[in-house]
């Protein structure tokens, strides 16, 4: 299986944070899932200078890249003040045409922060829900009235065009892409490696059950939580956990409640229900299959715990989320 190409299109006066954050996300994901992503760096020229004064070299000619529907193009933010004033150059005209061709062929395109301005200039944000840094919102709305700017979003996706707000929200957007490709557990592992939290868009929960209750510093309890996540369908008992981590059941129960803030059973229930919520979006999965994957005793227990938390049956979950 070929790797997905993640192409970072580096323009003059690029902001380093907008480049480094998303690049690190995909690098970390590839460390977890070898041979999944291939990071490439391209530009208008083979070298450029960032807004922070760092010279970046060895950039590929973007026109030489061969991309498929599985690939992504990222446009990190650039200096907004200077870019909005400069006329469109011949090189940019070629870039805009290339971006449109790539998107037409099914390649996904993502901008970070003021990178949305490049997409707006190219006409790729016409009639597209999008967002950008708060300093750029008024300008883009006035200069490009066909855009559908969402001012209250961390990031947005519409028809394979992803846009994010200021600076670190590019990390949030990248984590959401990782979650869609590799699953929520990989996204959570990447977030923990980078010491950030997984944040969703404004229409979804800002919580991640893989990261909730993990703000403590007890290494044993972190290991127990990791074990529970990785063996969720096995539903390990308290005695099995105590034996696995060489600690008494009483002490494990006390430590877990003290550091995680809830009981082991409550933590397991939260994890299982959240995983079930994710699996319910697949129409091919029956409730019996989901119950087994999530470590419930049977469908009846699954439905009972689900209704206790959400107050509607699991069969209605995709409909509820859609509205």
Whether 16 and 52 have beta carbons less than 8 Å apart is answered as yes
CA 125 vs CA 62, 161, 163: distances in Å? 21, 8, 10
> Quick check: helix, strand or coil at residue 232?
helix
pLDDT at 160 over 50: yes
pLDDT at 260 over 60: yes
Strand partners of residue 111: 75, 163
Chain position carrying tokens 């972190």: 222
288-297: list long-range contacts, CB under 8 Å, 24+ apart: 290/314, 292/233, 293/232, 293/233, 294/232, 294/233, 295/232, 295/233, 295/234, 295/235, 295/268, 296/235, 296/272
Q: What local confidence, expressed as pLDDT, does residue 318 receive?
A: 66
Write the pLDDT tens digit of every residue in 72-126.
Answer: 999 999 999 998 888 889 999 999 999 999 999 999 999 999 999 999 999 999 9
Phi, psi values for residue 265, rounded to 5°: -65, -40
What are the structural domains of the chain? 4-193 (3.40.50.880), 219-322 (1.10.10.60)
Chain position carrying tokens 């600076």: 167
DSSP string for residues in 99-127: HHHHHHTT-EEEE-TTHHHHHHHHTTTTT
Stretch (H or E) spanning 220: helix 219-230
Q: Which residue has the higher pLDDT, 207 or 28?
A: 28
Write the pLDDT tens digit of every residue in 15-59.
Answer: 999 999 999 999 999 998 888 999 999 999 999 999 999 999 999
> Residues 6 or more apart from 191 whose CB is under 8 A from it?
175, 197, 198, 208, 211
Stretch (H or E) spanning 60: strand 60-61
Residue 136, judged by CB atoms within 10 A of its CB (0-12, 13-18, 19+), counts as buried
Other C-beta atoms lying within 10 Å of the C-beta of residue 77: 30
CA atoms 165, 82, 147, 123: torsion sign: negative
pLDDT at 201 over 80: no
Q: What is the pTM of this model?
A: 0.70
Q: What is the DSSP letter of 63?
A: G
Whether 102 and 66 have beta carbons less than 8 Å apart is answered as no
> Quick check: helix, strand or coil at residue 41?
strand
Write the pLDDT tens digit of every residue in 220-252.
Answer: 998 899 899 888 889 999 999 999 999 999 999
**Which residue in 192, 72, 275 sits closest to 285, CA to CA?**
275
């Amino acid at each position: 299986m070929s790797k997905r190409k993640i192409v970072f299109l580096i323009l003059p006066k690029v902001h380093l944070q907008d480049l480094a954050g998303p690049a690190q996300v995909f690098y970390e994901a590839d460390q977890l899932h070898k041979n999944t992503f291939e990071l490439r760096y391209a530009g208008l020229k083979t070298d450029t200078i960032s807004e922070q004064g760092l010279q970046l070299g060895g950039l590929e000619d973007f026109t030489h890249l061969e991309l498929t529907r599985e690939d992504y193009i990222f446009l990190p933010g650039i200096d907004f003040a200077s870019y909005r004033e400069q006329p469109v150059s011949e090189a940019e005209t070629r870039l805009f045409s290339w971006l449109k061709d790539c998107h037409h062929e099914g390649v996904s395109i993502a901008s970070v922060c003021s990178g949305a301005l490049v997409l707006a200039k190219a006409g790729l944000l016409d009639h597209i829900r999008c967002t950008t840094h708060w300093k750029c919102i008024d300008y883009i709305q006035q200069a490009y009235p066909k855009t559908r700017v969402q001012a209250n979003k961390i990031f947005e996706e519409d028809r394979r065009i992803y846009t994010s707000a200021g600076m670190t929200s590019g990390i949030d957007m990248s984590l959401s892409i990782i979650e869609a490709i590799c699953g929520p557990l990989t996204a959570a592992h990447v977030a923990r490696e980078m010491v950030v939290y997984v944040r969703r868009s404004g229409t979804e929960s800002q919580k991640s059950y893989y990261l909730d209750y993990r703000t403590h510093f007890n290494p044993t309890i972190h290991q127990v939580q990791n074990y529970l996540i990785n063996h969720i369908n096995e539903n390990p008992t308290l005695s099995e956990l105590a034996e696995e981590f060489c600690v008494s059941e009483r002490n494990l129960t006390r430590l877990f409640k003290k550091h995680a803030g809830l009981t082991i059973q409550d933590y397991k229930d939260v994890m299982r229900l959240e995983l079930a919520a994710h699996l319910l979006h697949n129409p091919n999965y029956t409730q019996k299959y989901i119950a087994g994957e999530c470590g419930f005793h049977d469908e009846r227990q699954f439905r009972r715990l689900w209704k206790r938390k959400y107050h509607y049956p699991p069969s209605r979950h995709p409909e509820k989320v859609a509205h």
